[in-house]
Amino acid sequence: MPRKQTPLRPYFEKMAGIGKELSEGEIRRSKNNVDLIREQEEILAREIDRVNNAGVPAEKIHARGGMTVYDRLEYLVDAGTWNPLHTLYNPRDNEEGCTGVVDGLGKIEGRWAVIIGFDNKVMAGAWIAGQAENILMVTDLAKRLNVPLVWLTNCSGVKLMEQESVYAGRRSSGAPFFRHAELNRLGIPILNAIYGTNPAGGGYQGISPTILLAHEGANIAVGGAGIVGGMSPRGHVDEEGARALIDAARDFKAKPPGRVETHFDKTAYFREVHETEQGVLDGIKDYMRMMPAYDPAMFRVAEPAEPKFPAEDLNLILPANQKRPYDAIQLLARLTDNSEFMEYRPDYGPEVFTGIAKIDGFPLAFIGNRQGVFPDYPEYAEGTYPGVGGKHYRQGLIKQGEFVTLCGRDNLPIVWLQDTTGIDVGDLAEEAELLALGQALAYSIEQTDLSMMCIVLRKGTAAAHYIMGGPQANNNNAFTLGTPLSEINVMHGETAAAASYARRLVKEAEAGRDITPVVDKMNRMIQDYQDKSHPAYCAMNGFVDEIASLTDLRNYIQAFAGANYQNPRSITPVHQMLLPRIIKG
Partner 1 sequence: MSEEVTAPMSGSIWKIHVKVGDKVNYEDELVILEALKMENPIYAPADGTVSEIKVSENDQVEANQVLIVLD
Question: Contact residues for partner 1 (CB under 8 A)?
Answer: 23-26, 28-29, 321, 323-325, 373, 375, 386, 388
> Smallest distance, Å, CB 23 to partner 1?
6
Based on CB atoms, which residue is closest to partner 1, 371 or 448? 371
Comparison of 232 and 321: residue with beta carbon closer to partner 1: 321
Taking the C-alpha atoms of residue 464 and residue 439, their distance in angstroms, rounded to an integer, is: 10
SS3 letters across 280-320: HHHHHHHHHCCCCCCCHHHCCCCCCCCCCCCHHHHHHHCCC
Provide the 3-class DSSP secondary structure of residue 31.
helix
Which residues lie closer than 8 Å to 585 by C-beta, 6 or more apart?
A: none
| SS3 (DSSP) at 192 | strand
Q: H or E stretch including 362?
A: strand 362-369
Long-range CB contacts (< 8 A, 24+ apart) of 15-18? 15/340, 15/341, 15/342, 15/356, 15/357, 15/358, 16/340, 16/341, 16/342, 16/343, 17/308, 17/338, 17/339, 17/340, 18/329, 18/332, 18/333, 18/336, 18/339, 18/340, 18/341
Q: How far is the CB of 389 from partner 1 (least distance, A)?
A: 8
> Measured from the CB of residue 410, what is the shortest distance to partner 1 in angstroms?
36
* CB of 366 vs partner 1, minimal distance in Å: 24
The DSSP letter of residue 361 is T
What 3-state DSSP class applies to 354? strand
Q: Which one, 176 or 387, has the nearer CB to partner 1?
A: 387
The residue count of the chain comes to 585
9: phi then psi, degrees, rounded to nearest 5 = -50, -40
How many Cα atoms sit within 13 Å of 385 on the Cβ side? 11
The SS3 assignment for 401 reads: helix
Q: Report, in Å, the least distance between residue 499 CB and partner 1.
A: 15
> Alpha-carbon distance 149 to 115, whole Å?
6
Please choose, from the candidates 53, 8, 1, 3, the residue with its C-alpha nearest in 3D space to the C-alpha of residue 581.
Answer: 8
CB of 213 to partner 1, least distance (A): 56
Taking the complex as a whole, the smallest distance from the CB of residue 373 to partner 1 amounts, in Å, to 6
Nearer to partner 1 among residue 27 and residue 246 (C-beta):
27
CB of 354 to partner 1, least distance (A): 23
Nearer to partner 1, 201 or 390 (CB): 390
The residue among 325 and 568 lying less far from partner 1, judged by its C-beta, is 325
- Residue type for position 88: L
Catalytic residue IDs:
158, 201, 423, 463
Nearer residue to partner 1 within complex by CB, 97 or 325? 325
Cβ neighbors of 56 (< 8 A, separation 6 or more) are 121
Nearer to partner 1, 26 or 162 (CB): 26
**Residue 116 φ/ψ, nearest 5 degrees:** -145, 140
* Closer residue to partner 1 (CB): 305 or 498: 498
Q: What is the Cα–Cα distance from 44 to 98, expressed in whole angstroms?
A: 14
Query: Do 362 and 559 touch, CB atoms closer than 8 A?
Result: no
Q: 505, exposed or middle or buried, with CB in 10 Å at 0-12, 13-18, 19+?
A: middle
| Residue number with CB closer to partner 1 (402 or 424) | 424
Closest distance between partner 1 and the C-beta of residue 476, in Å? 31
Q: How far is CA 573 from CA 301, 570, 577, in A?
A: 11, 10, 7
Closest CB 322 distance from partner 1, rounded Å? 9
Q: Which amino acid is at 491?
A: M
Q: What is the sign of the dihedral through the CA atoms of 6, 10, 12 and 15? A: positive
Determine the Cα–Cα distance for residues 312 and 288; give it in Å rounded to an integer.
Answer: 34
User: DSSP E strands: which ranges in 469-545?
Assistant: 477-482, 487-489
3 state SS of 553: helix
